[in-house]
């Protein structure tokens, strides 16, 4: 699950790069939402790993 969160974060950063440089107006907004989703997934993944007794990273 942490790998998916990392993938979402990378996709969000790429979309933000395209959006902030004027290639796509809505790409920046989509990137912000994807980045927030990635952060939530990363936190949930870390919590599940911590509850299972594994180190969070």
Model pLDDT for residues 17-30, shown as the tens digit of each residue: 776 766 666 767 77
Determine whether 11 is exposed, middle or buried from the number of CB atoms within 10 Å of its CB (0-12, 13-18, 19+). middle
* Stretch (H or E) spanning 41: helix 27-51
Q: Is the pTM of this model over 0.85?
A: no
The C-alpha atoms of residue 39 and residue 21 are separated, in whole angstroms, by: 23
pLDDT of residue 24: 64
Compute the Cα dihedral for 35, 41, 42, 47 and give only its sign: positive
The answer to whether residue 54 scores a pLDDT higher than 70 is no
């Amino acid at each position: 699950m942490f790998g998916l969160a990392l993938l979402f974060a990378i996709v969000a950063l790429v979309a933000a790069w395209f959006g902030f440089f004027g290639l796509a107006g809505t790409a920046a907004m989509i990137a912000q939402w994807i980045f927030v989703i990635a952060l939530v997934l990363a936190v949930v993944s870390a919590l599940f790993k911590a509850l299972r007794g594994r180190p969070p990273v």
